[in-house]
Structure 1
Amino acid sequence: MKDILIITSYFPPETGAASNRIFHLAEGLQKHSFKVSVLTPLPNYPTGKIFEAYKGKFKETTIENNIIIHRLWIYASNSKNKLLRLIAMLSYSFSLCWFFMWNRISKTVIIQSPPLLVAFTSVLFLRSKKRKLILNVSDLWPIAGLELGAFKKNFSYKLLEKIERFNYKHVNLVLGQSNEILNHVTSLFPEKDTFLYRNYPDFVPPKISGSVASKGKLKVVYAGLLGIAQGIYKLCKELDYSNVQFHIYGGGAEQNKIQIFISNNPELDIIYHGEISRDKLHEALIGYDLTIIPLLNRIYGSVPSKIFEYARLGLPMVYFGGGEGEQIIKEYNLGWVAEAGNYSSLNTVISKIESSDLELKNRERIVKTACEYFDFDKQLNSLIEKI
Structure 2
Amino acid sequence: MHILFLTDNFPPEVNAPASRTFEHCREWVAAGHKVTVITCVPNFPKGKVFGGYRNWPWQREEMSGISVIRVWSYITANEGFARRVVDYLSYMVTAIMAAPFVRNVDLVIGTSPQFFTACAAYCVSRLKRIPFVFELRDLWPESIKAVGAMNHSDILSYLETLEIFLYRKAALIVSVTNSFRENLGARGIDVSKIRVITNGVDANSFNPRSKDSELVDRYGLEDKFVAGYIGTHGMAHALDTILDAAELLQSTEDSRDVRFLLLGDGAGKAELMAQAKQRDLSTVIFIDTVPKHEVVRYWSLLDASIIHLKKSELFRSVIPSKLFESMGMGIPVLLGVEGEAAGIVQSEDVGLVFEAQSAEALCHRLNELRRDNDLRMRLSQNGPVAARNYDRKALAIVMAKALQETLETSKRR
1:190/1:94 CA distance change after superposition, 3 Å: closer
Is the Cα–Cα contact under 8 Å of residues 5 and 108 in structure 2 kept in the other structure? yes
Comparing 150-159 with 329-338, greater Cα deviation is found at 150-159
SS of residue in 2 equivalent to 1:352: helix
Structure 2 residue corresponding to 1:273, chosen from 287, 305, 312? 287
The aligned counterpart of 1:208 is: 209
The aligned counterpart of 2:169 is: 170
The aligned counterpart of 1:377 is: 393
Q: CA deviation at 1:110?
A: 1.6
Q: Distance in 1 between matches of 2:140 and 2:25?
A: 24
Normalised TM-score (structure 1): 0.91
Q: CA deviation at 1:345?
A: 1.8
**Larger % of helix: which?**
2
1:282/1:269 CA distance change after superposition, 3 Å: same
Q: Distance in 2 between matches of 1:178 and 1:207?
A: 26
Is the Cα–Cα contact under 8 Å of residues 172 and 192 in structure 1 kept in the other structure? no
1:83/1:283 CA distance change after superposition, 3 Å: closer
Structure 2 residue corresponding to 1:305, chosen from 321, 336, 339? 321
1:3/1:16 CA distance change after superposition, 3 Å: same
1:183/1:153 CA distance change after superposition, 3 Å: farther
Comparing 306-315 with 249-258, greater Cα deviation is found at 249-258
Q: Distance in 2 between matches of 1:238 and 1:220?
A: 11
Structure 2 residue corresponding to 1:335, chosen from 341, 351, 364? 351
Q: CA deviation at 1:236?
A: 1.0
Q: Distance in 1 between matches of 2:366 and 2:179?
A: 28
Q: CA deviation at 1:65?
A: 1.3
Report 1:82-101 matches (<5 A).
82-101=81-100
- The percentage of aligned residue pairs carrying the same residue is 23
Is the Cα–Cα contact under 8 Å of residues 200 and 376 in structure 1 kept in the other structure? yes
- The amino acid across from 1:43 in the alignment is P
Q: Distance in 1 between matches of 2:47 and 2:322?
A: 23
Equivalent residues, number? 383
Comparing 33-42 with 184-193, greater Cα deviation is found at 184-193
Q: CA deviation at 1:379?
A: 2.1
Report 1:278-297 matches (<5 A).
278-297=292-311
Comparing 333-342 with 274-283, greater Cα deviation is found at 274-283
Q: Quick check: 1:230 aligned with 2:237?
A: yes
The aligned counterpart of 2:218 is: none
The CA RMSD over aligned residues, in Å, is 2.3
The aligned counterpart of 1:364 is: 381
Comparing 108-117 with 67-76, greater Cα deviation is found at 108-117
Is the Cα–Cα contact under 8 Å of residues 140 and 301 in structure 1 kept in the other structure? no
Q: CA deviation at 1:99?
A: 1.4
Q: Distance in 1 between matches of 2:78 and 2:342?
A: 31
Is the Cα–Cα contact under 8 Å of residues 92 and 118 in structure 1 kept in the other structure? yes
1:166-207 CA distances to partner (integer Å, 9 max, x unpaired)? 111111111111111111122221354111111112232434
Q: Distance in 1 between matches of 2:343 and 2:54?
A: 44
Is the Cα–Cα contact under 8 Å of residues 12 and 291 in structure 2 kept in the other structure? no
SS of residue in 2 equivalent to 1:93: helix
Q: Which runs of 5+ in 1 are unaligned?
A: none
1:228-270 CA distances to partner (integer Å, 9 max, x unpaired)? 1112234213433232321111111122222223333435311
RCO comparison, higher one (Cα < 8 Å, 6+) = 2
Is the Cα–Cα contact under 8 Å of residues 310 and 357 in structure 2 kept in the other structure? yes
Q: CA deviation at 1:358?
A: 5.8
Q: Quick check: 1:352 aligned with 2:353?
A: no
Q: Distance in 2 between matches of 1:48 and 1:209?
A: 34
SS of residue in 1 equivalent to 2:236: coil
- The amino acid across from 1:369 in the alignment is A
Is the Cα–Cα contact under 8 Å of residues 9 and 115 in structure 1 kept in the other structure? no
Q: Distance in 2 between matches of 1:324 and 1:287?
A: 27
1:73-104 CA distances to partner (integer Å, 9 max, x unpaired)? 00111364433222211111110221134443
The aligned counterpart of 2:228 is: 221
Q: CA deviation at 1:127?
A: 3.4
The aligned counterpart of 1:247 is: 261
Q: Distance in 1 between matches of 2:344 and 2:208?
A: 24
After TM superposition, what 4+ stretches of structure 1 lie above 6 angstroms from structure 2?
none
Q: Distance in 2 between matches of 1:257 and 1:106?
A: 45
